[in-house]
Amino acid sequence: MAILKILKDNDPMLRKISREVDMISPRIITLLDDMRDTLHKANGCGLAAVQVGVLRRVVIIETENGKLYEMINPVIVERSEEKQHEIEGCLSIPGRWGITCRPKTVTVRAMDRNGNYYTLTGSDLLARAICHETDHLDGILYTDNAERILTKEEMEGLE
């Protein structure tokens, strides 16, 4: 497996809309495996293919140790009315954090690496990660919708 380069927020590719995966090829399987290794190396909880320079609708999320969700062509099909304001960051925007408002619970429909469709409902951090990563697929960064970006002093208080 390979550790891929994570694009930073000034890279114009992050603003592009990712294309659907038509066929799960060996290349897509390798991408999923490489994204997993890259996510673990970066110590993150989610990664979209566009963040590693691949404009495909592929996302991986691991909010709990050992529970990795691979999502091909994910679509959020339901969002709760209840919202939560939380601190959010991004591997493509290192060292910056912001306050965002996301649904407390979301349901996503996606394909796994075997081409099987599944539905997943997540709350709290998992819901936030699903929203964050699927936004990437549409060229949206969390900073676009952040209520505010934390100051340097506020960020130092988090450490």
Query: Which token pair is 59?
Result: 């996302």
How far is it, in rounded angstroms, from Cα 159 to Cα 149? 16
> Is residue 133 annotated as part of the catalytic site, yes or no?
yes
| Identified catalytic residue from 81, 88, 133, 153 | 133
Token match 């506020």: residue? Answer: 154
Amino acid residing at 43: N
Q: What do you get for the CA distance between the two ends of the chain, in Å?
A: 32
Question: CA triplet 131, 133, 135: central angle to 5 degrees?
Answer: 65
Token match 């997540």: residue? Answer: 122
List strand residue ranges (DSSP E) for the chain, in order. 46-48, 58-64, 67-79, 83-90, 93-103, 105-111, 117-123, 148-149
How far is it, in rounded angstroms, from Cα 49 to Cα 159? 29
Could you list the active site residues? 133
